[in-house]
Structure formats: C-alpha cells, structure tokens
Chains A and B, each alone.
Chain A
Amino acid sequence: MTARSGSNGGARDVTVRVWRGEDRASGGFVQYDVPADPGMVVLDVMFRVQALRAPDLAVRWNCKAGKCGSCSAEINGRPKLMCMTRVSSLPEGEPITIAPMATFPVIKDLVTDVSYNYEKAKTIPAFRPAPLEPDGTRRMYQEEVDRVQEFRKCIECFMCQNVCHVIRDHEENKEAFSGPRFFVRLAELEMHPLDTHDRIELTRAKHGLGFCNITKCCTEVCPESIHITDNAIIPLKERVVTEFYDPLAWAKRRLFGQRPRQLGEKEPAAPSDR
C-alpha cells in the first residue's frame, strides 16, 4: 500500500489495522499510524488515513452523526458505526482492528455490497391503510404509535443483518431468510394500527422467521437500541404460533368452518371511538 509522509506534530498517535483489498481472498490488514485528536471517532481516524496515508481507502459514510447508517464496520471484531465509536472507548495501547462487514461481499476495503438487503426490501408488501374515518381524518393514538415508532427508528445500517449467524455463517440461507432488519419492517407493518394487509404467512414461509433462534445478536449491535428480538421477532413468532401452531385456534377454525387467513386479509382495523 501507498504510504505518504504525514506530519505528526507531536500529537499522540492512534494505530489502526484496516482491512484492505478488493476480494476476501487476496485482501488483508494494513497498519497505519495517524495523529489523534480529543474526542475522535473511528471515522475521523479513517479520514486521517485517507488524507495522510492512503487516499484511495474506500469507506462508505454520509452524515457522520449516527443517523444515516452508512459507516457500519467491524471494530475490534464487533459490528459498530464508525462515526459513533470513540477512539477513547477502545482499549488503549493496542491497534484498533477495522474490518468490513463479514456477511456481505467486499467491494473494496471497508465497503461491502449490501444489495441483498435492497432485494429483500422489494419482497415486502407495502402499507395498505384502512379507509378514512367518517370525518375524513386518520386517527391513531400515541400509545399505538409508540410501539411502531420504535421500529421506524431503524437507520438501515444493516449491522443486524451482518451479525445474524443465520446468514453470516450460512450463505445458503440467504435465499430463504430475510434477516432481522426485515422482521423489524414486517413487525412495523403488522402492528401498524391502520394497516389492512396480513403478512403472517409471508413472514413464516417466505422471510424465514423460523430460522431465527433468538440468540439476540441483532439486538446487541443495534445502534438505535431497537429491541429487535423482544419487540419485533418474538411478537411475530407469537403471531405465527396463533396462525399455524395453535391447536385451539386450529380446532376453533375446524369447528366453526373458518379457514386460515390468507395473504392480504386481516380483521379490519377497529374504527376509533372518537
């Protein structure tokens, strides 16, 4: 790799080992020392490396404020946003290891091809609202909205997708499994007070909810602190249970001649009482 002379100015240095390369087989870690600033985050260190040592170091970033979810990487082996990880929060006196997300193909250096996620997003049926209230408004109440708003905090950093062992360690599951990000999306639609679509069968059969063994790594890495497992995945699993694994519900359907709900049906949203 190229090395340029950079002035150090007597400031303390920070040492990073950055994974560099254009494919997994030939790439490897390269070590850089750059001057440190107080309060610096790992993304600042990457900018320093670009400006002083390796101008072509590929890093994907946008807002640098933890809001866009572009700069996901594995810092000392743990998925983190580079813009929200302060150098001072990492062990002092040893190099910081920065690697691209492991689950997705490498494009170059720290940049990965996350198109898997964009393809999965296309397979989720959109929000379909209930008709307007008689007075022409749509009414939802904060207590109903709170639960869904948690899911909509998602910044699509895809770190939950990256850390999920179902696809991280088992490439072959990518076809049948959509990953935590899209369970959050499905939960958001499923629990939306005004949505009229039913995506439960789809969640089980097409998005592979059953692959999840709730080991909670998605929740651990979420930079928005969304309780992915407890609030999205498990409630979806419970809804799937009602639909598919509940002997009482099954017996009731048999007894009263109901058939299981199909995609696109849901009890109509109750009109609100105001």
Chain B
Amino acid sequence: MAATAAPLRQRVLRRDIWWLEPAALAVLFAVFVVYSAVVGVANEHYYYGPYLSPFYSPCITANCAHFTFGVPIIGEWWNLAPAIWIVAFPLAFRATCYYYRKAYYRSYFWSPAACSVPDARAKYGGETKFPFVMQNIHRYTWYPAVALVFILSYDVILAFRFPTASGGAAFGIGLGTLLMLANVVLIGLYTFSCHACRYLFGGRHDRFHTRPLAYRLWSLISVLNGRHGQYAILSLISVGLTDLYIRLLSMGVIPFDPRIVF
C-alpha cells in the first residue's frame, strides 16, 4: 500500500462556522488580559467599602487601601500596585489549567483552531519540550488557588458588614455583596473541579472499594469536572465584572450601590 502525501489535508471540508468558538474565546481572553493589566497597574478604585476587588485580594502590602487581615504583611518597600503579584497565582493556575490550555492552543496557537482544520504550524512538539513541558506544574498552582478561594470567601463575609453612622458595623446585603458571592462560588467551582484536584482526591487510586471516602470525593469532583470549562469561563467573567462594579462605584460612575442593611 503506497503511502502518499495528502492534498486532502490542505483543505477544510467543514461547512459549519468552525472558527466562531476559537475567535470568540480569543476576543474574550484578549479583553480580559488587557483589562487586568490596566486594573493591575491602576492601583486605585479597588475598594468601595465594604467591597474589595478580587484583583486586589488579599490586600497585604503597606500601600493597600484596605488590609485584608487588618494589618499590612508586606512592608513599605513595595510601592507598586498590590495587585501585581497577587494576580500571578491565579494567572499561573489558569495558564496551566487543562481547559485553558485547550482554549488558547486553539484560539491563539491554532494547533489546531478547530477539529479537522489543519494545524497552523509545520512543526509540532506539543508539551514534550520547554516551555510547554512546564504545564506539568499545574498541580502546584492549585494549592495557592485553593488558598485564594478561602481569602475571597473571607472578603465576601466582610462584604456583609456595612459601616453604620455610629462607627460600628451592621449586617446587610448589597448588589456588590451578591456579585462577590457569585464570583467566589464560581471560582470555587472552577478550583474544585480541577483535573489535578480530581486526581489528588481519588483519581490516583485503582481500587475504590477499600477507599469509600476517596471514591465519594472522586465521584463528586468528577461531576463538577464535567463542567470545568464552563466554570473556567464564567469565573473569568465574574472576576472581571465584580472588579468593574466596585471600580465604577469607587469612581462614582455608578452613583450608588443598592443594598439592604438590617
């Protein structure tokens, strides 16, 4: 059987709008990256009491507008925006995430842009070589991501405490509270539906019968994992929108935050 070169391969025979999904994701990611860069260096309008933007949490440098833990943890020597190194952890988690890898390999590297559409590159080594072999660190980016879920949850708890005229605090719910709550739920779902998490909490075992707890955790995470991609996109959007809302309040563009205080 003579193996011959394949001119068929050069043609895209698909008749659907295959480029729509990668193009839409390319735009979404680009918008998010530009937005977070601007927000990250802005160093203002990230706190509108009691709401703290997720980009600036945990706020632990001395130049913070609002200290997450009440006191600064990093001293005066840090004079850039507090977001810059905070963003690094979620960025690393998302950049090495199995879902995001799929999305950006398709949208930006076009390897391939869609199924049965030719690869843009002539040579391909996948994740066998540097730098892509570094994707294997994904598991280690998961641990700080979990810590962040707890910190953001703490921010949400604080977002239920509204300052009173007397200088105390009262329980209340504002639109900002709800946005922050939705955001942390989505980030939580995204973080705990992670493939590495699924592996660590049960997937690594071959026998489940003798490990009922691992089996239950694995089953639960497996269900979440089925929607990992959706959580990835939704939590990305919710982070952006939460920050945008707080930012516009702080800037005075949105005149007031609807809230009920008890």
Q: What is A's interface to B at a CB cutoff of 8 Å?
A: 19, 23-25, 74, 76-79, 91, 94, 97, 99-100, 102, 105-107, 113, 115, 140-141, 143-144, 163, 165-166, 168-170, 173, 190-193, 195, 208, 210-217, 220-221, 229-230, 234-235, 237-242, 244-247, 269-270, 272-273
Contact = CB atoms under 8 A, between A and B. Distances in A.
Interface string B142-168: 000000000000000000000000000
B69 interface: no
Contacts of A270: 207, 210
Given A77-B14, A144-B208, A168-B9, A211 B125 contact: yes
A25 B6 CA distance: 7
A25 B206 contact: no
11 contacts: A25-B5, A25-B7, A78-B14, A97-B15, A165-B111, A169-B118, A170-B123, A195-B206, A208-B128, A238-B139, A247-B140
Contacts of B126: 166, 208, 210-213
A250 to B, nearest CB: 12
Interface residues of B, number: 53
A77 B209 contact: no
Interface string B5-22: 111110011111000000
Contact of A169 (B3, B4, B119): B119
Given A165-B119, A239-B204, A246-B139, A214 B5 contact: no
Interface stretch (B46-54, B60-68, B97-105): B97-105
B102 A19 contact: no
A245 B136 CA distance: 7
B209 A170 contact: no
Interface stretch (B25-33, B76-84, B176-184, B195-203): B195-203
A91 B112 contact: no
B127 A173 contact: no
Contacts of B132: 213
A262 B15 CA distance: 48
A24 B127 contact: no
B139 A105 contact: no
A229 to B, nearest CB: 8
B74 to A, nearest CB: 26
B225 interface: yes
B128 A211 contact: yes
A131 B243 CA distance: 59
Contacts of A244: 136
Contacts of B1: 105, 107, 113, 115
Given A105-B4, A208-B128, A192 B115 contact: no
Given A25-B7, A144-B206, A190-B206, 16 more contacts: A76-B15, A94-B15, A99-B13, A102-B116, A105-B1, A113-B1, A144-B207, A144-B209, A168-B116, A169-B124, A193-B206, A211-B127, A221-B115, A235-B203, A238-B195, A238-B196
Contacts of A25: 4-5, 7
B97 to A, nearest CB: 10
A165 to B, nearest CB: 4
B7 to A, nearest CB: 6
B5 A74 contact: no
Nearest to A19: B8
B209 A273 contact: yes
A230 B98 CA distance: 9
> Is chain A's interface secondary structure helix, strand, loop, or mixed overall?
mixed
B115 A78 contact: yes
Contacts of B116: 74, 77-79, 102, 163, 168, 217
Given A215-B105, A245-B136, A143 B15 contact: no
B199 A269 contact: no
Contacts of B138: 241
Contacts of A247: 140
Interface string B182-226: 000000000000011011000110111110000100000000011
Nearest to B99: A214
Contacts of A237: 136
B94 interface: no
B247 interface: no
B13 A105 contact: no
Given A239-B204, A245-B136, A77 B7 contact: no
B137 interface: yes
Given A193-B207, A211-B126, A214-B98, A76 B13 contact: yes
Contacts of A107: 1
Most buried by A among B16, B98, B133, B215: B98
A269 B205 CA distance: 10
Contact of B127 (A91, A163, A210): A210
B259 to A, nearest CB: 41
Given A23-B2, A144-B206, A99 B8 contact: yes
